[in-house]
Amino acid sequence: MANEIENGEIRKFNGVDHIFYDDYWIRYYQPPEETLSEKKKLLDALTRRTFHHTESGINTPGSKLENARMAFDNEQDPQRKRINAAMLAGALFNRATDIFTAIVDLEQSGIHITRQNELMRQCSECFLEALSLSQNVKHHSGEEGVDELWGEPVKVFTITIADYYSSRYRKIALAMREIDHIGRSIHKTLCDQPWFCNASELVDDFIKIAKNECEVLRSDPDYFSIWPEFVADGEKITEFLAEIPRDASVELERHIKRGVLLLRSGKDIISWIANVRVPMPVSTQRYLAQCKKYHEDTHQLLTSF
């Protein structure tokens, strides 16, 4: 069926519009009117979202840009310089939004600002430099960077809002595919084992609601039912304890407990992806490698009895 549907097709499911992208039906939202004021609202939302999902301490005010740049230039220690680079990216990001706010204020006062205007040029340069430094910024988990988030304000600034929405649906589809991939790996690695059979339904429920969380906007009234379900289903996995056989050897008991930790790690990664709504390939590949190793260890342990 998916092969017969073109990307961008819209249909209603249970009274809610969905748009099709890359094998996934994603909740559809009508793009707002193409105005500088609406772009400003979108940039503000993306700014809050970006800093919400990144490491703490880098939300540097745009007014501190020169201080952030000086500290970055003067730092010699590689680890510290990475953090200074993240702080500089934050300052550039905020400076760009500050400039864009001024542009919108001028537009609302009847003063038209063209793309060739110095303010527009400075705004674009700040966004682009922030993007170039974004690889130094880590997700709040410390796992990896979230470069995709830093590229979104650049898109909003350079393309139409409608085109930006389309690009987001593609990213959400990729995030959903990654969530499904992790879910299949958890089933193969853990849920197929008798000690984890009771976790199978918990994992399925969490995968389903994680994809709902991935697609819904906070402004959507359904968010008030989706978010509590998402958190509650995640807590069920965190609280899950595998059934350890009474006659289990020390090695088997240790292995099963290691599997419980692996299950919780999978839940965490799925949560992060659902929240940022973009793939996290480094974290995902690292986790899939852990699942593969655990699966091999399970086979070796069981065949040794």
Give the tens place of pLDDT for each residue, 35-50. 888 988 888 888 888 8
Q: Taking Cα atoms as reference points, which of 178, 251, 255, 166 lies closest to residue 214? A: 178
C-alpha 187/C-alpha 178 separation (Å) is 14
With 60 as the cut, is the pLDDT of residue 2 above it? no
Mean of the per-residue pLDDT values for the chain? 91
Task: Decide which of 194 and 265 is more confident.
Answer: 265
Distance CA 72, CA 75 (A): 5
Cα angle for residues 84, 87, 88 (degrees, 5° grid): 85
Q: What is the mean pLDDT of residues 193-206?
A: 94
Q: Could you tell me the pLDDT band of residue 126, with boundaries at 50, 70 and 90? A: very high
pTM of the model: 0.86
- How large is the average pLDDT for residues 70-79? 96
The SS3 call for residue 15 is coil
What pLDDT is recorded for position 304? 67
pLDDT, mean of residues 136-146: 78
pLDDT at 45: 86
Report residue 147's pLDDT band, with 50, 70 and 90 as the boundaries: low
Q: Where are the alpha helices (DSSP H) in the chain?
A: 36-52, 65-74, 78-108, 118-133, 147-158, 161-186, 200-215, 223-238, 250-276, 281-303
Does 107 have pLDDT greater than 50? Answer: yes
Mean pLDDT of 136-161: 78
Region 8-29: mean pLDDT is 95
Q: Where are the domains of the chain?
A: 36-159, 162-303
- Per-residue model confidence as pLDDT tens digits over 226-249: 999 999 999 999 999 998 888 888
Greater pLDDT, 152 or 267: 267
For helices 78-108 and 147-158, angle between their N-to-C axes, nearest 10 degrees: 20
The arithmetic mean of pLDDT across residues 252-257, rounded, is 93
Share of the chain above pLDDT 90, in %: 61
* Per-residue pLDDT at 305: 58
Mean pLDDT confidence for 74-88:
95
Distance from C-alpha of 98 to C-alpha of 85, rounded to nearest angstrom? 20
Lowest mean pLDDT among 176-185, 263-272, 294-303: 294-303
Which of 35-44, 94-103, 220-229 is most confident?
A: 220-229
pLDDT for the residue 247 = 87
Residue matched to tokens 């039912």: 225
Residue 187: pLDDT over 80: yes
User: For 33, left (φ over 0), alpha (ψ -120 to 50), or beta?
Assistant: beta
Position 1 confidence tier, pLDDT thresholds 50, 70, 90: very low
From the list 89, 80, 88, the residue with the least C-alpha distance to 50 is 89
